[in-house]
Amino acid sequence: MNNMNRNTARKLLAVFAHPDDETFICGGTLAKYAAEGADITLVSATRGEMGRRMGNPPYLNRETIAAAREHELREACDCLGIRELIFLDIRDKTVEFTDEESLTARIEDLIRDINPDAVLTFHERLGGHPDHCAIGKATKAAFSRAGRKDGLYYISFGDMMAVPERFGYTRSDIVKINVSEHLEAKLAAFRAHRCQSEIDEWVWLPDAEALARFGMHEYFIKTELAAPLVNDDDLFQSEDSGAVFAFES
Ligand SMILES: [Zn+2]
């Protein structure tokens, strides 16, 4: 945290499914906003204990992997500057089978408590994994039930939203964040997720070679509920610090 007053810092809430989603998909953006003083809370629905990557060569098992991944996620949060980490304690690979009403209610409570200026989650159709789609669907419902319209974004993989028309979107729906100044933090977080990333040889190349593998931008999709984007290169649409609404709880 820099010298910005915590009370006036912009707040970002990321609601994802597994340890590593935050780093592998949008680590540059999280590092960028943290470096600019944003107060970031990460919610991970699971501890990723059903992951097929068990280290390379494998040194984890189904009993030890949850604690290892939690530990790695905490280290990755430190690398990215994420201030708070919350687990929903859902079993990995079962988010889609969790009671939707109670999951939505839990996320709605978090949104009301934190009152974030921007919320990130998965797209309910383009999430790429059933857990991702399920947490995205619940977060979208929770956001709406908390009375919010603006400030919810879906994360997207790599450069897929460089051509949003392929997925039924237009450029006016897309926020494109330049993360070029924050790739070192992203790489450090990749390496913190060691049991997942150590099979990927490029991650462990000398820094300059590994950094060259990253794209310079990360892309986010505005939800259909939100007003047209004012800024297409910033998740915070208002120049004001602090939240737009004050919620009674
Ligand atoms: Zn995931």
> Based on the structure, what is the number of domains in the chain?
1
**How far, in Å, is the centroid of ligand 1 from the Cα of 152?**
19
pTM as predicted: 0.93
Does residue 1 have a pLDDT over 50? no
Q: Does residue 121 form part of some domain?
A: yes
Q: Does residue 1 form part of some domain?
A: no
Q: Does residue 80 form part of some domain?
A: yes
Range of the domain at 85: 11-222
Q: Token pair for residue 240? A: 């004001």
Over range 43-60, report the average pLDDT: 96
**How far, in Å, is the centroid of ligand 1 from the Cα of 199?**
17
Q: Does residue 177 form part of some domain?
A: yes
**How far, in Å, is the centroid of ligand 1 from the Cα of 7?**
31
Model confidence at 7, pLDDT cuts 50, 70, 90, reads low
**Inter-residue contact 135 to 121 (CB < 8 Å):** yes
**How far, in Å, is the centroid of ligand 1 from the Cα of 51?**
9
Does residue 136 have a pLDDT over 80? yes
The domain that holds 97 is classified in CATH as 3.40.50.10320
Does residue 243 have a pLDDT over 50? no
The region of weakest confidence among 4-18, 170-184, 185-199, 204-218 is 4-18
Q: Does residue 50 form part of some domain?
A: yes
Q: Does residue 191 form part of some domain?
A: yes
**How far, in Å, is the centroid of ligand 1 from the Cα of 40?**
19
Q: What's residue 121's pLDDT?
A: 98
Q: What's residue 185's pLDDT?
A: 98
**How far, in Å, is the centroid of ligand 1 from the Cα of 85?**
16
Q: Which amino acid is at 55?
A: G
Q: Does residue 207 form part of some domain?
A: yes
**How far, in Å, is the centroid of ligand 1 from the Cα of 138?**
15
DSSP per-residue string spanning 163-180: SGGGGT--GGGEEEEE-G
